[in-house]
Structure 1
Amino acid sequence: MKVAVTVWEDRISPVFDASRRLLVVSIEKGCIVDRSVVIFNPERPSNLVKTLAELGAPVLICGAVSRVPATVIAAGGIVLIPFIAGKVERVLGAYAKGEPLTPTFVMPGCLRTAPETGNPVH
């Protein structure tokens, strides 16, 4: 399985709309086995969807993202995991092992709990 993550230095990029670098990793049996960096233009989310499809990366983990790119990405069939913060290696390590990214890696102030279910809501 391949997963893409917006990156800024060694962290998840805090704002998708200002990101330019995408780390694409291959995960096998809970371990990261391959990685590559792709440069992209966040102002063209439909191009990003096409790139992710070509790379075989159906999942995108990112920080804060505006409604329009989020809608375009999700409509393009990409599983979007937004509002994630932290060091890239820790986030990807948890994801590779099948651990939930919420609430541990959720950006401060971006998670609340639904009173009727107790489940996280963005």
Structure 2
Amino acid sequence: MGACRAMRAWAVSHPAEFEWIFASPVSGTQHQPDSARHQAGLRFENVFIDMIVEVWNTRPFPVPELDALPQGLPEQLHAYSRLIDRRLPPEAVHQMDFVLTDMQPLYEQCLSELSGMLGLAPEP
């Protein structure tokens, strides 16, 4: 949870940099496996993947096979994953300023719910 909080804190305090890194269009040459940008992205994502694998190894949960899901759900999940890959956290780009002046409590509630779903002890 500490990594999630640190990433959010950085994104909120550096919205321009966050948007530049995570929302900038990437040209075809930068998608090549040997490009510097692609390699940097892999190093960055491995930080989070390593933590996710650690959680999975200590608290695995059942995951159904895609063909066991209700008809249409795999396609919806795929479409959703493409959508969220292109979205920024609303507070990093001030999309929710008109509704919430402080998103920290909502963020902490989401972390608490995720911790519970994964069987992790909540961190203060």
Band of TM-score, shorter chain: under 0.3
Higher relative contact order (CA 8 A, sep 6+): 2
Larger % of strand: which? Answer: 1
Length-normalised TM-score, structure 1: 0.24
Higher relative helix content: 2
Q: Could you tell me the TM-score, scaled by structure 2's length?
A: 0.24
Max Rg structure:
2
